[in-house]
Amino acid sequence: MSHPIIVGVAQLTQPKKVSERLHPLKLIENASQIALEDVNSPKIVDHIDSIFMVNIRSWSYEDAPAELCETLGIKPVHKVYLPDGGDTPQMLTNRAANWISLGKSNAVLITGGEALYSIFNAEKGKISLDWPKKGKPSYMEGNIWDGTVPFENKYKIKFPPFSYALFETAVRAASNRSIKEHNQYMGKLMEKFSITASKNPHAWTQNSYSAEEITTPTPNNRYICHPYTKLMCSNVFVDQSAAIIMTSDEIAEEIQIVREKWVYLMGGADFKNLHKITKRPRIYDSPAAREGSRQALNQAGITLKDIYAFDIYSCFPSIVEIITKEIGLEENDPRDLTITGGLPYFGGPWSSYSMHSIVSAVELIRKNPSFNIMVVANGGYNTKQSFGIYGTKPPAQAWGERDDSAVQEKIYADSLPNPIEKASGKLRIDAYTIYYDREGVPKRGIAIGTLENRTHTFAFIEAKADILLELEKQELVGQTFTVRYNPEIERNVLEIR
């Protein structure tokens, strides 16, 4: 039986000071060309019959996959261009493994990239860009994915720092840490990520920060929302690309790709949590991560103890904390939780980040064939997670044989009723955040809580800045407040006295 393997990888970071800025598709082309060269077998081009590309958010092209294939001399049977989601690179890699195992594809090129740093500087007038004219994508698998629903959007949950900060306060309360203790915990967690980034030549920010520097608000590290400073948040203003080439070990033998290049996708899984945040019974956990890690390890035929290192999606601290707990890691586990440096420091090129995780895993395993590395990719608002386990041994359970539909339905079944959109009564806070303006002044609080009928709802905390500052010093999770619907702003509001 043949098994899917990765035989070519590449990742690029466009230097900040380069005057001629490459547009995203050009960055992707360059990474893909290097990945083809990395295979060290020219015949691989004849076998690539599928191209999987992550949606490019920073620029738009009428048919980016077709343009890429023409440049590389690839004639694909299948072109997949996927909408947003940080889980996408690992999910596509899992899909490629299934296709190869089932004979749907011989070899697959998976790629993605962004150049928002260049665009941001052009908009500020610092540089000019001689890039191709934008074109609306002629096709996409599904629609642009919207991670929240209109009711949640009314409370600014679509802005990721706000939603993940809400999760953070729920995680903090569930851990029984004080606000001070949890800030220290977050700082130490992210300090390790920044140290890894400082040693990574591909990282966007090659600085290491102490826990205190990360958690302390300053003019250069402003408070975004309680309890997050800028250094705790994903940095999307980067120019980065990556590419992966997968085929079967049978084809690799046939076209004489040396075994030192082979890295197996030993196990993987893709699961989703409930889409609506208000319908989740708990907002400090992830059934998708719990089941995903279990299924991926079972397929690989190993246990958590056999994993050398991890790359856990780290757009914000809360998702790292949620995932590590769900997969069964102790807080004092000495293993690395990132092999890149994470999204705040390595860089977070929109939905393409985990492509770099996979490339980094392959590069590490080639140098250290005894390593098994787990990559965990996260999409939306703790909405969906994809797992991949990489190593030098084939999976214990072949790809294409497992049906996860029953497990997924079980996750969906554990659901609360729809939220009360016009609330009145007592609301026990389950999570909250307070967000700031760019001058460091608190503007408003956002809370999600449980009403007396056990349904969830959102509400704003409307108060003057000095009161919000005082509230920030308190643990509001578990406290009960009166909530009323305000028809003037068409939002629920907590009564704070």
For 53-108, what is each residue's pLDDT tens digit? 999 999 999 999 999 999 999 999 999 998 889 999 999 999 999 999 999 999 99
Q: How confident is the model at residue 145 (pLDDT cuts 50, 70, 90)?
A: low
User: What's the pLDDT at 140?
Assistant: 84
User: What's the pLDDT at 1?
Assistant: 73
Which of 358, 352, 354, 353 has its CA nearest to residue 390?
358
Mean pLDDT for the stretch of residues 347-360: 97
What is the predicted pLDDT for the residue at 144? 63
Domains of the chain: 4-146+236-413 (3.40.47.10), 424-494 (2.40.50.840)
- In 3-state terms, what secondary structure has residue 75? coil
pLDDT per residue as tens digits for the range 465-497: 999 999 999 999 999 999 999 999 999 999 887
Task: Give the integer Cα–Cα distance in Å for 370 and 308.
Answer: 9
Span 11-29, average pLDDT: 96
**What is residue 58's predicted lDDT score, i.e. its pLDDT?**
95
Percent of the chain that is helix, strand, coil (3-state, to 5):
35, 25, 40
- Of 148-157, 286-295, 322-331, which gets the smallest average pLDDT? 148-157
How many residues belong to the chain? 497
Separation CA 311–CA 488 (nearest Å): 46
pLDDT at position 141:
82
Measured CA angle at 378 (ends 95, 244), to 5 deg? 45
- The whole-angstrom distance between residue 260's C-alpha and the CA centroid of its chain comes to 29
**What's the pLDDT score for residue 143?**
67
Query: What number of other Cβ atoms are within 10 A of residue 222's Cβ?
Result: 15
Whether 453 has a pLDDT exceeding 90, the answer reads: no
Across 1-147, the runs of DSSP E, i.e. the strands, are 4-13, 48-54, 78-82, 107-115
Res. 454 pLDDT band, cuts 50 70 90? confident
Using DSSP bridges, classify how beta strands 373-379 and 491-494 pair: parallel, antiparallel or unpaired: unpaired
pLDDT higher than threshold 90 for residue 148: no
pLDDT beyond 80 at 142: no
Which pLDDT value is given to residue 83?
A: 82
pLDDT tens, residue by residue, 168-188: 999 999 999 999 999 999 999
- The predicted model scores a pTM of 0.97
Peptide bond into 281 cis (omega under 30): no
Cβ atoms 8, 44 nearer than 8 A: yes
What is the model's pLDDT at position 99?
97
